[in-house]
């Protein structure tokens, strides 16, 4: 089978001891990376077992000293919570602290409530995307130019000092996700890894669209990683799988026109069942063009399930 990377992500409801257990387990088992989310508060029911919320970027900085090989990133940093100069400096610092293991996952943000609660301005969608595009230009300039210069509508640099540059060359990987035309164009322009959260049929169609955008803009589609975020329920108990599907169908709010019912969509949005079944399902994602699968952190954390995945599923795609 074709090769694929396997990571773990998600952080709602995790305290420090939970982060430590999850990241050290992933590091020990050979997972590629860990990617917490970036929120100031719990943003939706069911997103984690408790409202606990630590700052993901600070946690990743701390994890540089508690892990050896695990890549440390975010899915995704909210561009509107930090000026891009600060983002560039912080991720660069993590890259140095970790010996070159930092990754930058960044997006335009979409949960207005947490901005309202904390009194932070929340621009309209078009402006948020324009700001993200400019922010990535600023960050890349700071990471690669001897003296960084950029002039945009929202951000500007004038011979900004950039020493030291990141450990990774030309810079840490950049992850941008989304399925709208404008967001995909931002990803094609800046991203190392194009990320999606969508059922398999939609992912297939979106990768075709992204390939066309890359061809139009002169970007090498094949040189990008293509990642997805997926929930996982690796178990030999069929009743546990059916419970997970039923729960997912009941909570589903975003319906795809490519599926006749919510249950079918949920089954095509998760990894479900025995190791053999999950291996077959991963194979279908890889066949569709995905080469980086990010498994959502089980809550409560199930080390045994992650051990089974690393031992019984991942080797088929090594």
Check which CATH number belongs to the domain holding 215 and give it: 3.20.20.30
17 has pLDDT over 80:
yes
List pLDDT tens digits, range 257-301: 999 999 999 999 999 999 999 999 999 999 999 999 999 988 888
List pLDDT tens digits, range 100-123: 999 999 999 989 999 999 999 999
Tally the domains of the chain.
Answer: 1
Which range is least confidently modeled, 156-165, 203-212, 253-262, 309-318? 253-262
Q: Compute the distance between CA of residue 122 and CA of residue 116 in angstroms, rounded to an integer.
A: 8
- For residue 52, with 0-12 CB atoms within 10 Å meaning exposed, 13-18 middle and 19 or more buried, which class applies? middle
Tracing tokens 């799988």 back to the chain, one arrives at 241
- Determine contact, residues 267/230, Cβ cutoff 8 Å: no
25 Cβ neighbours under 8 A, 6+ residues apart = 301, 303, 306
- DSSP code per residue over 12-49: TT--HHHHHHHHHHHHHHT-SEEE----SS--STTSSS
Q: Domain containing 248: what range? A: 5-317
List pLDDT tens digits, range 210-248: 999 999 999 999 999 999 999 999 999 999 999 999 999
Residue-averaged pLDDT of the chain? 95
Q: Give the per-residue SS3 of 275-297.
A: HHHHHHHHHHHHHHCCCEEEEEC
How many residues in the chain?
318
Residue 115: strand, helix, or coil: helix
List pLDDT tens digits, range 54-79: 999 999 999 999 999 999 999 999 99
| Displacement of CA 26 from its chain's centroid (Å) | 16
At 48, is the pLDDT very low, low, confident or very high (cuts 50, 70, 90)?
Answer: low
Q: How many CA atoms lie within 13 A of 211 on its CB side?
A: 11
Q: Compute the distance between CA of residue 74 and CA of residue 83 in angstroms, rounded to an integer.
A: 16
What is the pTM assigned to this prediction?
0.95
């Amino acid at each position: 089978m074709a090769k694929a990377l396997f990571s773990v992500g998600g952080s709602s409801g995790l305290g420090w001891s939970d982060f430590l257990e999850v990241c050290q387990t992933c590091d020990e088992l050979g997972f590629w990376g860990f990617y917490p989310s970036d929120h100031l508060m719990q943003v939706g029911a069911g997103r984690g077992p408790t409202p606990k919320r630590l700052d993901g970027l600070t946690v990743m900085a701390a994890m540089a000293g508690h892990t050896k090989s695990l890549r440390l990133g975010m899915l995704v940093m909210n561009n509107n919570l930090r000026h891009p100069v600060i983002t560039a400096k912080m991720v660069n610092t993590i890259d140095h602290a970790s010996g070159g293991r930092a990754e930058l996952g960044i997006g335009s943000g979409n949960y207005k409530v947490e901005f309202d609660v904390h009194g932070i301005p929340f621009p309209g969608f078009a402006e948020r995307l324009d700001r993200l595009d400019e922010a990535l230009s600023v960050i890349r300039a700071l990471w690669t130019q001897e003296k960084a210069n950029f002039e945009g509508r929202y951000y500007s640099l004038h011979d900004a000092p950039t020493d030291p540059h990141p450990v990774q060359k030309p810079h840490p990987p950049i992850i941008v996700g989304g399925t709208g035309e404008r967001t995909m164009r931002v990803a094609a322009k800046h991203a190392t890894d194009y990320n999606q959260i969508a059922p398999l049929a939609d992912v297939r169609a979106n990768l075709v669209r992204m390939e066309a955008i890359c061809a139009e803009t002169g970007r090498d589609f094949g040189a990008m990683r293509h990642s997805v975020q997926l929930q996982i329920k690796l178990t030999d108990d069929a009743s546990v799988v059916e419970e997970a599907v039923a729960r997912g169908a009941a909570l589903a709010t975003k319906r795809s026109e490519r599926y006749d019912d919510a249950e079918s969509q949920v089954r095509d949005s998760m990894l479900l069942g025995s190791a053999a079944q999950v291996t077959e399902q991963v194979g279908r994602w890889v066949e569709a063009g995905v080469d980086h699968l990010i498994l959502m952190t089980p809550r409560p954390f199930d080390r045994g399930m992650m051990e089974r995945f690393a031992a019984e599923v991942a080797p088929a795609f090594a």
